[in-house]
Amino acid sequence: MLSNEIKNICCIGAGYVGGPTMAVIAKHCHQIQVNVVDINPERIAKWNETDLSNLPIYEPGLKEIVSERRGKNLHFSTNIPVNIKNADMIFISVNTPTKLKGIGAGQASDLKYVEASSREISKYAEGFTIVVEKSTLPVKTAQTIKDILDASSSSEINQEKKSFAVLSNPEFLAEGTAIDDLNNPDRVLIGGDNKEAIGSLVNIYSNWVDKSKVLTTDLWSAELSKLIANAFLAQRISSINTISALCESTGAHIKDVALAVGMDRRIGKDFLNSGPGFGGSCFKKDISNLVYISNHYGLNEVAEYWQKVLTINSWQQKRFVELIVKKMFGTISSKTIAILGFSFKSNTNDTRESPAIFICKKLIEEGAFLKIYDPQVSEEQIEKDLDNNIELESNSKENKNWSFSNSLYETFIGTDAGIFITEWEEFQNLDWTKIVPQMRKPAWIFDTRSILDMDEVKENGINIWQVGCGA
């Protein structure tokens, strides 16, 4: 065996990153046993479901890989000690949410799950183990992990000392395209100072990724690059969203402006779709963390600059709600509104930080009744998101101000307006002749994603507002 040949991987955290990432490694590396572990038994049970439509994560292409590799070299388990013990390489893919209380609350990352994982590794690992940070972490976290692991390095098992190398290998996948992103990454970033350990990880990726795309750096550059990549992406969205408002005020059209601007190769055409603001579990959390770190190092102007990206994101959502109320004669009290799409983007069932949560919450506060439809998000999840977020007595189970709809077309029955919040493909070719008779007139459609043909909607006698569309 080559000194850097890996035979057994353990991934701590079976979430949106751990699950798909390990499935793709298992697909390309049949010689490696890949064990994904989690403290959440329900999540693991779902990963082991015979019916693959019940996997905990909806991601195009994922169930095919799970079906092909599960039970062969891809395993999901709650047995953390044994899988850590058997592993040559351990990925930490646990969640790193924003701290809710204490020092840095609302900005700093809560590293309690990373610390707990490091302690488990330090307790159960045997021999030499490569520990890989897959989670997105504040710059310098590898030092904390090293300190925890080093504290146990002196203990001996069967006269063999424990030892560790820590690498940073941030993940750049986007939800909805995770499998494609993992199969064909723009780059793979590996930070570290142990050449042998880096070589082992490079070898794994070289099973399917061209070596020219594998970038190796020091630990801190790798950790920081991940935060910055997300910050730059989010910044583009806030930038285009400010311009959407300017287009609406001036009579310009955001799609044309984005196309014209993006055709400059130096700017690039991607990530210039204006909409209801970015959602998802990471952009807000990672920028908040960047703001926190910048302030920590006394770089207040840097912090203020990035904070504005978040401010604009919230402003866009508030602006939409105010605009909807204004267009509907200044009140939506006792009106029924169809909500089309609840996930934070299409092709995922993830609702974390979805703009739909804020928008729905505000519309309910204004007295509207909502009928919510999403092709992948469950009623249970919406219930959690809205009930956790709305402290309104009127939203109690007996007196709910929203209902769940299973059928796209039936969602419009008896509604005064429809708001398109997620850009699901099935919303893009609607038969308006089926929708129009169901709605109370004068009816409004609000297209926050710019996905509808405005002329077609207007021809069917419905008022339409579209983001970034000046009159």
Among all residues, which ones are annotated catalytic? 171, 226, 282
Q: How far apart are the C-alpha atoms of 334 and 220, rounded to whole Å?
A: 54
67: left (phi over 0), alpha (psi -120 to 50) or beta: alpha
The reply on whether position 175 binds ligand UGA by CB under 6 A is yes
Residue number with CB closer to ligand UGA (74 or 282): 282
Q: Rule CB under 6 A: which of 83-112 touch ligand NAD? A: 93-96
The reply on whether position 447 binds ligand UGA by CB under 6 A is no
The reply on whether position 136 binds ligand NAD by CB under 6 A is yes
Residue number with CB closer to ligand NAD (18 or 277): 18
Print the binding letters for residues 203-242 with ligand UGA: x by CB under 6 A, - otherwise: ---------------------------x--x---x-----
Residue number with CB closer to ligand UGA (145 or 282): 282
Q: In degrees to the nearest 10, what's the CA dihedral of 412, 241, 346, 96? A: -130
* Beta carbons within 8 Å of 145's beta carbon, 6+ residues apart: 92, 114, 118, 131, 133, 166
Residue number with CB closer to ligand NAD (20 or 418): 20
Q: Do 217 and 228 form a contact (C-beta atoms < 8 A)?
A: no
- Residue linked to tokens 């990432």: 21
271 binds, among ligand UGA, ligand NAD, none (CB under 5 to 8 A by kind): ligand UGA
Q: Do 125 and 88 form a contact (C-beta atoms < 8 A)?
A: no
Print the binding letters for residues 162-181 with ligand NAD: x by CB under 6 A, - otherwise: ---------x-x-x------
- 18-51 burial, b for 16+ CB within 10 Å, e for fewer? bbbbbbbbbbbbeebbbbbbbbeeebbebbeeee
Q: Do 130 and 88 form a contact (C-beta atoms < 8 A)?
A: yes
How many residues can be counted in the chain? 471
Residue number with CB closer to ligand NAD (91 or 412): 91
237 binds, among ligand NAD, ligand UGA, none (CB under 5 to 8 A by kind): ligand UGA
Nearest-approach distance from CB 439 to ligand NAD, in angstroms: 36
Q: Do 247 and 469 form a contact (C-beta atoms < 8 A)?
A: yes
Q: Do 310 and 288 form a contact (C-beta atoms < 8 A)?
A: yes
In the complex, which residues of this chain contact ligand NAD (CB under 6 A)?
12-18, 37-40, 43, 93-96, 113, 116-117, 135-136, 171, 173, 175, 281-282
Which residues in this chain contact ligand UGA in the complex, by CB under 6 A? 136, 171-175, 230, 233, 237, 271-273, 275, 278-280, 282-283, 344-345
